[in-house]
């Protein structure tokens, strides 16, 4: 299984014109960022649409509950597509999912409680949601690139569990 993962990762590097000993070029990193941006925007559409449907159309006035549901849907979408198309990661998917979860363990409670507090003092709920989405985008890209879809990190964790 590990050999198969290494072979798939090798193919992914070759597909991106990168060998294991080289860092990606600035152009390749920029393209990767643009792909992340595109999938994040699509996830943002899912999150904002879900939030608006629940909060403004159905009039479910619990900001934190509507935000929580919308961010979960957004995260599932974003993780799936960024893993496959942006970072082209064939590494251990359960480990990658766990690492992504580790980003959201602190982020979701902070954004839920902070956003709810802002909404409670009179800030527009949609504006608060968009602000949280921007913060999520900026911090998640760094986390995904350096931790979740970094083969060295995933392989190191995988070796420790075997």
113: helix, strand or coil: helix
> What's the confidence (pLDDT) of residue 13?
47
Q: What is the largest CA-CA distance in the chain?
A: 56
Kindly state the tokens that stand for 146: 């350096």
Query: What is the total residue count of the chain?
Result: 162
- Which residue in this structure is represented by tokens 């006035």? 61
> What's the confidence (pLDDT) of residue 99?
92
The model's pLDDT over 49-84, given as tens digits with 9 standing for 90+, comes to: 999 999 999 999 899 999 999 999 999 999 999 888
pLDDT in 10s for each residue of the chain, 162 residues: 455 545 545 544 444 444 444 677 889 889 999 999 999 999 999 999 999 999 999 999 899 999 999 999 999 999 999 888 888 876 778 888 899 999 999 999 999 999 999 999 999 999 999 999 999 999 999 999 899 888 777 667 767 665
User: How far apart, in whole angstroms, are the C-alpha atoms of residue 69 and residue 64?
Assistant: 9
Q: What are the E-state strand segments in 20-83?
A: none
| Alpha-helical regions (H) of 16-149 | 26-52, 63-81, 93-120, 125-143
Please state the domain extents for the chain.
24-161
The number of angstroms, rounded, from the C-alpha of 97 to the middle of its chain's C-alpha atoms is 10
> What's the confidence (pLDDT) of residue 20?
47
pTM given for the model: 0.75
Work out the percent of the chain whose per-residue pLDDT is above 90: 59
Kindly state the tokens that stand for 19: 């060998």
> What's the confidence (pLDDT) of residue 24?
75
């Amino acid at each position: 299984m590990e050999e198969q993962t290494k072979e798939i990762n090798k193919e992914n590097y070759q597909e991106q014109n990168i060998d294991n000993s080289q860092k990606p070029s600035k152009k390749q990193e920029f393209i990767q960022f643009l792909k992340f941006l595109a999938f994040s925007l699509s996830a943002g559409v899912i999150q904002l649409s879900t939030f608006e449907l629940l909060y403004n159309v159905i009039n479910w006035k619990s900001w934190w509950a509507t935000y929580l549901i919308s961010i979960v849907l957004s995260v599932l979408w974003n993780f799936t597509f960024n893993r496959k198309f942006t970072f082209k990661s064939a590494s251990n998917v359960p480990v990658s999912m766990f690492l992504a979860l580790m980003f959201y363990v602190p982020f979701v409670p902070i954004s839920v409680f902070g956003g709810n507090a802002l909404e409670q003092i009179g800030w527009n709920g949609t504006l608060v949601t968009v602000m949280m989405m921007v913060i999520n985008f900026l911090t998640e890209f760094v986390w995904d690139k350096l931790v979740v879809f970094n083969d060295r990190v995933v392989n190191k964790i995988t070796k420790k569990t075997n």
